[in-house]
Amino acid sequence: MYKPTTIKDIAKALGLSTSTVSRALRDSYEISEDTKRLVMDYAEKINYKPNPIALSLKERRSYSIGVIVCEVANSFFSQAINGIESIAYKKGYHVIISQSHDSYEREAINVQHLANRSVDGLLVSMSAETTDISHLQRLHEQGLPMVFFDRIVEEIQTHKVIVNNKKGAFEATEYLIKEGQTKIAHLANAPHLSITPERLEGYKMALQAYGLPFNEDYVQYCHHGGLIYEEVEDAVKKILQMPDKPDAIFVASDRLSTGCLTALRKFNPGNIHNLSIAGFSNSAVINLLQPSISYVHQPAFEMGQIAIEMLIQLIESNKPVKEFITRVLDTKFFPNKDLTEIKVDTIGS
């Protein structure tokens, strides 16, 4: 049975009281140098570590913060997590990661679990399925600090970090248009995610800016954020089978982008439909993908860093914070340079 040494053990071994030991370990001024050294040396020797559970109970804080994302197997989120950790560790906070798998139920359970475990604050990116936000609202009202990033929720007044989704979507769509495509479909995320209408809007704006009509049918939603591959496949199939078949697709997210390419590879081997793809993605292997894709890259690491800094500010602020800010970062667009080249290849196959 695993039983770590306690302050009591030290006290007994050294013939002191627990309070003296406690104070000595915290280098209190009211303890003599001799006693301090005695206690500290002994603690060192037996590798004493204070029990953070006891500390948490006492201080009503845990120096840990909870992160809830849909999944870690997603470049955008894993990069954001790395950003979060980079700051959190430096400031003495531990990061507890939790996955919603884009399920409302899982999100609610995990949020509750994290709150129960006395995290000092929460970093949240909403699940694709969630419409009812009362689980978060309740905690927020009770005063649990939280910061939203990427997939935010309007109704809760707190700090938020997002990217300029409209602009990112505009640039991607614009690129496709400038490439010469006129019938551009849009593979969209779950409708109630904050990012979905924003990216749709950017897409629409680009169409309008270049005098292209907006076709409602060209927009295909994936209600589970693409975590269920079949829904992406269905959406892509629908796009390919449209009477007025699109010649390009603008894809709204990382997971959808890879799902879309997989489906295309299946239905459209060798890119016989000559489709051009542009989408949001932070994948490390994006440049290796075939069919190739132009992509909107989000500063995920930086978003994570900013979010955790905001959260820590909230946690450590003495007076209740009343002014909340929403940081909007820029995305970066990477055209797929060798598009034509590869198209020639694949057409030949």
Binding interface with its own copies (CB under 8 A): 1-4, 47, 49-54, 56-57, 60, 62, 64, 71-73, 75, 78-79, 81-82, 85, 94, 96-97, 99, 112-113, 115-118, 138-139, 142-145, 258, 261-262, 265, 283-285, 287-292, 341-342, 344-346, 348-349
Looking at residue 45, its amino acid is: K
Minimum CB–partner distance for residue 135 and DNA (Å): 19
345 binds, among DNA, its own copies, none (CB under 5 to 8 A by kind): its own copies
Sign for the CA dihedral angle at 333, 281, 94, 125 comes to positive
Minimum CB–partner distance for residue 271 and its own copies (Å): 11
Residues 6+ apart with CB under 8 A from 266: 233
Question: Is residue 16 within the footprint of DNA (CB under 7 A)?
Answer: yes
How far apart (Å, rounded) are the C-alpha atoms in residues 89 and 335?
36
Looking at residue 87, its amino acid is: I
Which residue's CB is nearer to its own copies, number 217 or number 345? 345
How far apart (Å, rounded) are the C-alpha atoms in residues 326 and 88?
20
Closest by Cα among 293, 280, 298, 101 to 188: 280
DSSP 67: E
Q: Name which position in 25, 40, 212, 329 contacts DNA (CB under 7 A).
A: 25
Question: Is residue 205 within the footprint of DNA (CB under 7 A)?
Answer: no
284 binds, among its own copies, DNA, none (CB under 5 to 8 A by kind): its own copies
DSSP assignments along 228-269, one per residue: SHHHHHHHHHHHHT-TT--SEEEE-SHHHHHHHHHHHHHHSG
Minimum CB–partner distance for residue 267 and its own copies (Å): 14
Q: Name which position in 27, 34, 216, 323 contacts DNA (CB under 7 A).
A: 34
Residue count of the chain, please give it: 349
Minimum CB–partner distance for residue 118 and DNA (Å): 9
Binding residues for DNA, rule: CB under 7 A, are: 3, 6-8, 15-20, 22-23, 25-26, 28-35, 50-51, 54-55, 57-58, 60
